[in-house]
Structure 1
Amino acid sequence: MDAIVFLNLSNIRYLCGFTGTDGALVVTPGRNCFLTDSRYTTQARGQVCVEQITEYRLKIDGIVDCLRAVGAKKVGFEAETITFATLEELRERSGEGIEWVPLAKQLKTLRSIKTIDEIEAMEKAAGICADALAEVLPLIRPGAIERDIALALEFAIKQRGAEEKSFDFIVASGERGALPHGIASERALQAGDLVTIDFGARLNGYHSDETVTLALGDVRPELRRIFDTVLEAHDRALALIKPGVALREVDAAARQYIADSGYGEYFGHGLGHGVGLEVHESPVVSPRADTVAEEGMVFTVEPGIYVPGLGGVRIEDMVAVTSSGARRLTRIPKDYRVLAV
């Protein structure tokens, strides 16, 4: 490549430090140029670490003018980020003088190995979530509304310094626990429910992601058996993680145990995903994973069982791969916990 054009804001932040909401980064072997509009020029001058900062009126024109100024003929772009319409605009504006080359696999692992500072930010975000749940725990009782619990958690993390929630919080109780992405609803919690809470916070641009399943009083024996199965699958996967271990094997450790326990058909998603500037990023931990664990990777371990008409359980921790194993960044206990009703 003579140059690579970055438009994904997470990649841009990672590469040059810009935290605004609009811009482009042109990387070349000898000179890097950040481009933005007048709203962010002053911010960029205080944040961005590049050789050149340029202000544009029209983004596409600014990018092409920059590429022409450096004589770029073969230009890579983020194939998984740039829309077809944007690519067509770039091709039309640049004419036949520039060849646009899609880069997908080549950029997928760009942010997959985290620095100490990145890991520290995610661990602090997870700490905010642990403190927030401890505050909200007394609200989780029969009659409480799922949506109210989610709102209370969001307020609690922001009171503690979170920039934003990582995603729309999942609070799924009773039969709704069978929904892996059961966004908080107007359902009222009932005695005998399992309540799955999946939430996270963003701090300094970095996310946390964690799921806990709690019992409201005594639950049906099968629900308890499902919980114990998921927890054992979770623990087996965690114990396997160390540098050099294939991530598909980590997934298989949990998946096989769930299948051997008779619930294989009720665990359909991958075991985990990378976390960082985006809440879902490289690496993927699934049967299709094609990489091995490396020191500095951060990803989730989140097995689940979801039985329609009955309920479900998911248990999730976020871990950092160390030189000899894995360290949990999330700190909410995941053992079976019964809340008084």
Structure 2
Amino acid sequence: MNKIARLILASGESSPDMRYAAGFSTPDEFLYFSTDRERGVICSPLEFSRAVAQARDGVTVHAEAEFGGPDRLEMLTRLAASRGVAGYLVPADFPVLWADRLRGRGLEVRVEEGVFFPQREFKSSAEVDAVIRSQRAGEAGLRRAVEVLRESEITPDRMIRWRGELLTSEILRSEIDVAMVRLGMQPTGTICAGGEQAAQPHNTGSGPLRADWPIVMDIFPRSAETGYWGDLTRTVVKGKASELVRRAYDAVLAARELGKSLVKVGADPAEIHLAAARKMEEAGFRTGRSDKADFGFFHGLGHGVGLDIHEAPRLSPRNHTPLRGGEIVTVEPGLYYPEWGGIRLEDLMYVAPAGAARCLTEAEDFLEIP
């Protein structure tokens, strides 16, 4: 007996691999297994009927009692014996405690060092549609933010006031998030960073927003129904942008459009990244590091989007694996300088297996909001 079964122990809400394998999500952990003959899940009575209704085609739903549950160690021991396997192949994030317990029962536990489901990189038409729905919700959140900024007034000391109070990153973020929640999304970590905070790409933003300074809004909703994400970034200025900020915006926009034009089957992701980086460098925006922080363009050009917000493939200088068709990737160049903030513009691209790549983002591009 030397066969190995594949095993996931996780909740559908926390594990994209579980969501992908089982076809449904639960807040509590359950078991997924597959052998060369079958794929199945083992669920508690709380989730059994829902699993039967929602499980992916070809996945058999089992009750815990079939394997001596609810004792999970007993279930996994009996599962291995009944399927004639010597142990389990598990993903890299499998709990160490459970690996030790299984080994204590004489079962082999191997860790998949690579991606557990490489096929997740290549989306079906249904998956593309799910990402598009999330992206449209993100765009609705962006429209709400623009409405708020258009309704706002600039105070004599160049702050932004909305509905009688200073407009903060927190208020703007909440308006974006509420708009997306109404469309069935689960917003997490929406970025509304203004001024110097915008020079830190993952700073979510806090405190009052100032007029005439760039505000980076990075919006990435996850669908509560499907688990698929959208990803969208726009940068705006309430008031009048400086000449430097205008030039930086134009450089980032040109780099994004160049990057999008290069996304296609057979393209080298590293070359796409480097072409966009050169475009901004040629516009006069240098990348480097000071004694305070990195500046310029110092992150990858893009990443895959699906059941994870960041997944394969990466558009980065380290990835030379050609695009094969079926991927959904962001193209999001940015420029960041602690002296005045940052600019980032992000669209989603679908690498169609045949024909031209398709942009999945419909949001407009503009810098100033009077």
TM normalised by structure 1 equals 0.91
**Match for 2:113: what amino acid?**
A
Q: CA deviation at 1:274?
A: 0.9
- Find the counterpart in structure 1 of residue 142 from structure 2: 133
1:144-165 C-alpha deviation (Å, 9 max, x unpaired): 1111010001111122x22311
Secondary structure of the structure 2 residue equivalent to 1:128: helix
Query: Which one of 157, 161, 167 corresponds to residue 180 of structure 2?
Result: 157
Give the direction of change, closer, same or farther, for the CA distance of 1:43–1:173 in structure 2 (3 Å limit). same
How many corresponding residue pairs? 332
Query: Which one of 5, 22, 36 corresponds to residue 3 of structure 1?
Result: 5
Tell me which moved more, 135-144 or 240-249: 135-144
1:70-96 C-alpha deviation (Å, 9 max, x unpaired): 1112531112x213333223322x31x
Q: CA deviation at 1:278?
A: 1.5
| 1:198 corresponds to 2:218 | yes
The separation in 2 between residues aligned to 1:206 and 1:191, in whole angstroms, is 35
How well do the aligned residues superpose, as a CA RMSD in angstroms? 1.8
Say if 2:131 and 2:230, in contact at 8 Å, map to a contact too: yes
The separation in 2 between residues aligned to 1:150 and 1:249, in whole angstroms, is 35
Percent identity, aligned pairs only? Answer: 27
| 1:65 corresponds to 2:78 | yes
Q: CA deviation at 1:108?
A: 5.5
- Find the counterpart in structure 2 of residue 329 from structure 1: 360
1:151-199 C-alpha deviation (Å, 9 max, x unpaired): 001111122x22311x21000111111010111312x122211111001
Give the direction of change, closer, same or farther, for the CA distance of 1:298–1:108 in structure 2 (3 Å limit). same
**Match for 2:216: what amino acid?**
T
**Match for 1:85: what amino acid?**
L
The separation in 2 between residues aligned to 1:319 and 1:53, in whole angstroms, is 39
Say if 2:350 and 2:357, in contact at 8 Å, map to a contact too: yes
Say if 1:169 and 1:184, in contact at 8 Å, map to a contact too: no
Residues 236-247 of structure 1: pairs in structure 2 closer than 5 A = 236-247=258-269
Give the direction of change, closer, same or farther, for the CA distance of 1:262–1:338 in structure 2 (3 Å limit). closer
| 1:101 corresponds to 2:101 | no
Secondary structure of the structure 2 residue equivalent to 1:51: strand
Residues 120-269 of structure 1: pairs in structure 2 closer than 5 A = 120-140=129-149, 141=152, 142-143=160-161, 144-159=167-182, 161-165=183-187, 167-186=188-207, 188-203=208-223, 204-260=226-282, 261-265=284-288, 266-269=296-299
The separation in 2 between residues aligned to 1:101 and 1:76, in whole angstroms, is 5
The separation in 1 between residues aligned to 2:357 and 2:216, in whole angstroms, is 24
The separation in 2 between residues aligned to 1:52 and 1:30, in whole angstroms, is 15
**Match for 1:315: what amino acid?**
L
After superposing on structure 2, the runs of 4+ consecutive aligned residues of structure 1 that deviate more than 4 Å are none
Say if 1:35 and 1:63, in contact at 8 Å, map to a contact too: no
- Find the counterpart in structure 1 of residue 314 from structure 2: 284
- Find the counterpart in structure 2 of residue 117 from structure 1: 126
Unpaired stretches in structure 1, ≥5 consecutive residues = none
Q: CA deviation at 1:291?
A: 2.0
Tell me which moved more, 110-119 or 279-288: 279-288
| 1:20 corresponds to 2:26 | yes
Say if 2:17 and 2:116, in contact at 8 Å, map to a contact too: no
Give the direction of change, closer, same or farther, for the CA distance of 1:309–1:65 in structure 2 (3 Å limit). farther
Say if 1:263 and 1:305, in contact at 8 Å, map to a contact too: no
- Find the counterpart in structure 2 of residue 82 from structure 1: 94
Tell me which moved more, 22-31 or 135-144: 135-144
Tell me which moved more, 116-125 or 1-10: 1-10
Tell me which moved more, 318-327 or 253-262: 253-262
**Match for 1:39: what amino acid?**
L
Q: CA deviation at 1:106?
A: 5.0
Tell me which moved more, 37-46 or 108-117: 37-46
- Find the counterpart in structure 1 of residue 341 from structure 2: 311
Tell me which moved more, 100-109 or 280-289: 100-109
- Find the counterpart in structure 2 of residue 29 from structure 1: 36
**Match for 1:88: what amino acid?**
D
